[in-house]
Amino acid sequence: MKKFFTLVLALSVTSQAQEKARVTVQPDSAKVYQLKEVIVTATRTEKNSVDVGRSVTVISNDRLRNSMYQSVAEALSQQEGIYIVGTGQNSGAFQSLFMRGAGSNQTAILVDDIRITDPSSTNNALDISELSFAGVDRVELVRGSHSTLYGSSAIGGVMNIITQKNRTPGIHADAEVRSGVFGQGTSLFSENLFLNYTHPTGLYFNAEISNANVKGLDATVDTVTNPNAFKNRDKDGFVKQDMVGKVGFRDDRFDIYASYKRTYQKADLDKSAYKDDDNYTIDFKRNLFTYGAAYQVSKNVNIKYLGGFSDMQRYAVDDSSVVDKLGNNDHTFSDGTYKGTMATNELQATLRINGVDAVVGAGLYKETMTSKTYFYTRSSYGVYESRTDLDPLGLEAQTKNIFAHVDVNGALVSDELSRVSLAAGARSNSHSTFGASTTFEINPSVKVTDNALLFASYSTGFNAPSLYQLFAPSKDYTSGITRGNKNLQPETSSSYEIGFKQSIGGSTFFTVSYFNTIVKNAIEYVYLWDKNVPVADLGKDFTRNDYRGDTYLNIGKQTTKGFEISFTSIVNEQISFSGNMSILSGVLNYSPSDIDNAQTGGNHVQSYNNGAFINKEVESLGLTRRPNTANLSFHYKPLVSLAFRLDARYAGARDDIYYDSKRGPYGALGTVPVSDYVLIDISQRYVVDNHFSVSARVENVFDTKYAEINGFSTRGRGLYLSLKYLFDQTF
């Protein structure tokens, strides 16, 4: 710490000495707030974010790259309504995004309007650690149900990562080297190089490569205190590489592009909470292609085609672990290869005329998955092996859709209604398994003054079951019931929001909103038990088999309510503040009337999520891993070339989950409380000249001990230093 503050002081003194001598300085990229940012994700047309009648946020490229965030998850965690489990854990830990209390698979994540998921996983949820800043121009967030414009998963909201296009004609490059430590024996070293060439005609090429190597923490908490106990604990490393290429042409009429991104990462993992594993790793690869073409037919009409294809693969291997001081191992080996693809093609037309913004479109989305697993163990009883292969099943699903959205200003009816706007839309979906579904939204807003907007929205959403939930072939040989349930219906939501936005003097902006979301047909993983045995007697007679398999059912209803507030204030050229707060509450309800008896065979149903038998109405209060949150940032810029930033992040107390063997014959998930925490980060950025800048950051300044997931460790105090070089040669 002392060395870091010495560096800060030295840079400050040096900057003051050079300030008078500097004739020109690098443009002010440390300015991170723009009160009038354009957003396209909310309505699929360009609109000032202040005028959009939804809760939205735009995270610009400058804010991402100049803030010293270590990951996309850290940038997202600073926003209201979002909590990402895994942000503060060891690099490479699985990161789950929760937006407005929705599940980790109930937020649509897009790259240039193209949805990306992990179709090979059990619930289709994306690991946020996969995302990076490579090629990113900005991130747009729309909170609240938005399935009308973006289809499945958009119950909690939408995150759209928009990649860079052309710049001013010329050659542009930036290179960055970053290094740091965040605990004893840890290290981080990353390099990033970006190149852009833009021709005066509008032709452009982008390329970027980034690489990170991390020597990490022991990802699990060690609770073994016996000094004679054998330990073979290891620290868990992480490697991540991203390569991006994009070519396009853009002028007043055309916007044509094609891009490719390759992601590779390898993470050391552990078995579970408190249980280390010295030989467990996951290799992940994704190839992502996006392409599109837009043509401005006239001043008022635009036609756009969007397409994308992604294939991904996870390879998990858990080799034998050493179990004693003699070097003996557990004679157990397992591995699995999980693959998935996603393809999107969509055509849309936009009309903007006389106070009307309208979008109509149609599209086709297709996903596939397969997996192969192998397990081997050897003991005194002999050798046991098992294999699974889903490849011959040809698992796939496709969704066809048509949608329309219109935003009408009241001036179309009367000049006296010019401050009133009404947006509405609908989408019709046709899924290859569950059939047709429809979503809609209505969104009125009123400009109370030139700088104040009162808005409300009511919207419905849906989340399609994953391929695994639909088709997993594992079967119970007593009942014949399969784990996959082809009769699953999509999770459906209805949500309303009331909000207010206010801009004061062009330098202060705040938003307040209240929302209520009900998700019905929630898909739950359940155990099935012999219907002829009373629940109280299940599993107590070891001479009989009471188990009747496991499956997925639509049986849950989740109600979530919340309050959000955010603000930004630029006091003067030197000082600015920003902050937000999110308060969340939720309840889960289960009803025996929702059970599909054809799938369960009339057997007893036990929810794995909490162990409850659904033979009566069941209510569960609270949402696991989804706390109340608050963020506060203070920016101070004493000189044109020098900027300081202080960030404070609060996460409230919440419940985590763990496997409780006492919940039913086979056990189920129980809850355990996790304490709240406050983290303080400080950072500094110093612009040496037109080309070079130096940034430094202290993460978790007070070395706070906290937990995100019970049993897994989090990063302590971290020290990071970044050197960045910029080159611009304009024509």
Q: Where residue 67 falls among pLDDT bands split at 50, 70, 90? A: confident
Q: Which has more confidence, 206 or 70?
A: 206
The CA distance from 507 to 567, in Å, is 11
Q: Would you call 3 exposed, middle or buried from its count of C-beta atoms within 10 A (0-12, 13-18, 19+)?
A: exposed
Taking Cα atoms as reference points, which of 613, 563, 610 lies closest to residue 588? 610
pLDDT recorded at residue 68? 79
Q: Which structure tokens are listed for 407?
A: 């935003």
Quick: pLDDT tens for 290-317.
999 999 999 999 999 999 999 999 999 9
Unique residue bearing structure tokens 């021709």: 199
Q: Where residue 323 falls among pLDDT bands split at 50, 70, 90? A: confident
The CA distance from 134 to 111, in Å, is 12
pLDDT recorded at residue 9? 38
pLDDT recorded at residue 712? 95
Q: Which residues contact 445 (CB under 8 A, 6 or more apart)?
A: 53, 420, 421, 422, 423, 453, 454, 455, 456
Q: Which residues pair with 313 in a beta bridge?
A: 285, 339
Length of the chain in terms of residues written: 731
The answer, yes or no, to whether residue 11 has pLDDT greater than 70, is no
Unique residue bearing structure tokens 């390099």: 191
DSSP string across 120-172: TSSS----GGG--STTEEEEEEEES--HHHH-TTTTSEEEEEEE----SSEEE
Percent of residues, the chain, with pLDDT higher than 90: 84
The CA distance from 700 to 721, in Å, is 15
Q: Which amino acid is at 633?
A: S
Quick: pLDDT tens for 612-665.
999 999 998 888 999 999 999 999 999 999 999 999 999 999 999 999 999 989
The answer, yes or no, to whether residue 65 has pLDDT greater than 90, is no
Domain ranges of the chain: 2-730
Quick: pLDDT tens for 441-478.
999 999 999 999 999 999 999 999 999 999 999 999 99
Q: Which amino acid is at 337?
A: T
Lowest mean pLDDT among 21-30, 97-106, 175-184, 542-551: 21-30
The answer, yes or no, to whether residue 526 has pLDDT greater than 80, is yes
Mean pLDDT for the stretch of residues 577-596: 95
Quick: pLDDT tens for 50-59.
889 999 999 9
Taking Cα atoms as reference points, which of 464, 444, 450 lies closest to residue 401? 464
DSSP character at residue 600:
H
How many C-beta neighbours within 10 Å does residue 25 have?
A: 15
- Strand 718-730 and strand 38-39: the pairing is unpaired
**Mean pLDDT for the chain overall:** 92
Q: Which structure tokens are listed for 718?
A: 């971290």
The answer, yes or no, to whether residue 33 has pLDDT greater than 60, is no
Q: Are 140 and 497 in contact (CB under 8 A)?
A: no
Q: Are 138 and 63 in contact (CB under 8 A)?
A: no
pLDDT recorded at residue 36? 62
Does 2.40.170.20 match the CATH number of domain 2-730? yes
Dihedral sign from CA coordinates of 622, 626, 627, 629? negative
Q: Which structure tokens are listed for 636?
A: 């101070």
